[in-house]
Structure 1
Amino acid sequence: MDESKLIKYILEETDQAENQEIKQWIAAHPNHKKKYERVQYVWEKSQFVRPSKVISTEQAWQDFLKRRDHRSPQTTKHVSLYPWYQVAAAAVVFLIATAFVYVRFLEPDNALLSNIHLASEQKTVSDTLFDGSVITLNKSSQLAFNQSIFNKERKAKLVNGEAFFQVEKNENRPFQVQAGEVKITVLGTKFNVKKHGEQVEVILQSGAVRVNYEDKERVLKPGDKLLINQVKGLLTSSTAEDELYSYYVGDYFEANDTPLWRVIEVLNEAYGANIILLNERLRNLPLTTTFKNDSLENNLEVLKATFGLTVIRKPHRIIIK
């Protein structure tokens, strides 16, 4: 939902159809309600810098036309334009003062004209942006985002780590993610970006994204995975083997005929563990199940019971055979 329409709704300048549309949109999702409340909060914070009398330029113009049409033909009247300069000056002062209020007095996560910074350490972090988009950071990740509603583009920078983006669609304001020298441009979609050193991985879950690196460009469709090696300048396209990459978003692991080696790989990443498959024949055992991202011990028990495995715990490593 466009911010200008929400402000129009707050000012009670929407018609009945628009009112119904906005009410349904707010009720449809908690993130929509949060976005509306943020717009309302910002607007209310700016009230004290408003002119005591709000002058409608449209109404002023109509009044001028009426006066012109009904004036006496024998009398020549000189209409001063000074009030119009007052209106313009008041508007400029209002905009500047409002911008100052936004930057100076709002909390960082509500600020519209400044960058927000997200950082995670030992647990994932999720935040809803002003536009309704949701960003989830995996552990040990950092991201910066420009929330200004006055910019043509919405821009995020993944400094390091991994993030999952659920972007609110806005064709007039594309959403861009920068990871190193890799730029990802979207309108409305869900995708995952992982930056590890000089390698960037992009996996598209839904919608469409365009990835640019140097003079190279790729357009991804759902299920596509793109690896960008910024040292060698190589772009490698493939299909995402599974959706385990998003385990930190929904807080569960979903395996669908997934080979055991891949499940172990993700568990090692998620828990910072060092699980080793001792027998080569175990690598491709298929697993179809969903288990919570709670404790490593519980999930090892699931694997143990499913395949009849033996789990041996050693200092700094776990051996499965």
Structure 2
Amino acid sequence: MENTEKNDEYAFGLIIDQFDGTLTEEGKKELAQWLASSPEKMKIYQGFCDLSKGLEDLNIRKNLDASGSWSVLSKKLDDSEPEVVLRTPRSGNMVRYAAAIVAIAAAGIYYQVYQAPETFSTAMNEQRSILLPDGSSIHLNGNTTIAFNKHKYAGHRTVSLQKGEAFFDVVHNDKNRFVVEMDEVHITDLGTSFNVARSADDINVVVSSGVVKIEGGKAHAEVILPAGMHGLYKTGSGAVSKSVNSNVNFKAWVDKKLTFNNTRLTDVASLLGKVYGCKVILAQPSLKDRILHAKLNYADADSAIQVIAQTLDLKVEKNGAQFLLADK
């Protein structure tokens, strides 16, 4: 009986050596003999193989050390030896212990790889684009976090906007609607591209093309927004309202197309900061009420601010991502 237990434990070590790439030719023969001894041992071996595949997938997603993970599992098996000896288990217990370890570890790996959503975040002044499996795209503004499960996405096109602002350009599918989830509030694509800005107090939705539906919240309201409309959800009351969108620059942070219609320079500076992730300072208080009328489309802040300075006869001083506008 004791020899059987020790043989099983030795075989588990051979399996781990195989996945580590350190199994000798003699070890391969011994492992083959152990596997041929009973169907139950072949099932245990298959469990190790499934766990190895899970570790590889997890390594790809999270840059983990798969071989290091096998070492941890090996240590767990080693640590189980004193318990086996003290309790003098019946024949086959070691196999069941290993099966339990493999099952638990495999379940954890399965959840992390296939069940847990993948999260994407941006820093304060960072912007990035995410391409979804169906060809839809999400543009993230600064200080934004989204999450979705790429393994379930084909049948369940759902993205969670956890905080911040994102612009969604959706490939429409009548049979599989695209949904943005924000706790109890859901935004459903009815064929569209739209911008969503989420804060602690409210959720703002502006539709660029097509139609979206906002639903949920405390009042279980439902509002349909066609292109050109703005939807507002108030977190405190749960109320949802809609109105004609008056913010022509709602997606300027995405396409860098800026329209200023008799806009105060202080508001121009604020918008430039949001669009380009920079800081624009007005040197003199009198500049706050200077009026700008212009349409700009520049990929970088330097070009846009230089044009504004020339238009308003100002000088520019730059220090990193900070711009100082002053009278000449």
2:292 is aligned to 285
RMSD of the TM alignment (CA)? 3.6
CA distance change for structure 1 residues 131 and 150 in 2, over 3 Å: closer, same or farther? closer
2:160 is aligned to 157
1:136 is aligned to 139
Matches of 1:104 and 1:243 in 2, distance apart? 47
2:222 is aligned to 217
2:251 pairs with 1:246: yes
2:272 pairs with 1:267: yes
Match among 298, 305, 311 for residue 306 of structure 1: 311
Q: Is the 8 Å Cα contact of residues 258 and 297 (structure 2) preserved in structure 1?
A: yes
Match among 109, 120, 123 for residue 122 of structure 2: 120
* TM-score w.r.t. length of structure 2: 0.56
- CA drift at 1:272: 4.6
Matches of 2:183 and 2:262 in 1, distance apart? 31
Matches of 1:123 and 1:102 in 2, distance apart? 32
**Percent pairwise identity:** 25
- Counting only pairs closer than 5 Å after superposition, residues 91-130 of structure 1 correspond to structure 2 as 105=57, 107-108=60-61, 115-121=117-123, 122-130=125-133
- CA drift at 1:206: 0.5
Q: Secondary structure at the match of 1:153?
A: coil
1:266-294 Cα offsets, whole Å, 9 max, x none, are 112232525458348845532223222x2
Count of equivalent residues: 219
Q: Which runs of 5+ in 2 are unaligned?
A: 1-48, 63-112
1:255 is aligned to 259
Matches of 1:160 and 1:240 in 2, distance apart? 22
CA distance change for structure 1 residues 255 and 150 in 2, over 3 Å: closer, same or farther? closer
Bigger Cα Rg: 2
Match among 175, 199, 203 for residue 202 of structure 2: 199
- Counting only pairs closer than 5 Å after superposition, residues 171-182 of structure 1 correspond to structure 2 as 171-182=174-185
Matches of 1:269 and 1:141 in 2, distance apart? 13
Matches of 1:103 and 1:224 in 2, distance apart? 47
CA distance change for structure 1 residues 137 and 102 in 2, over 3 Å: closer, same or farther? farther
Q: Is the 8 Å Cα contact of residues 202 and 225 (structure 1) preserved in structure 2?
A: yes
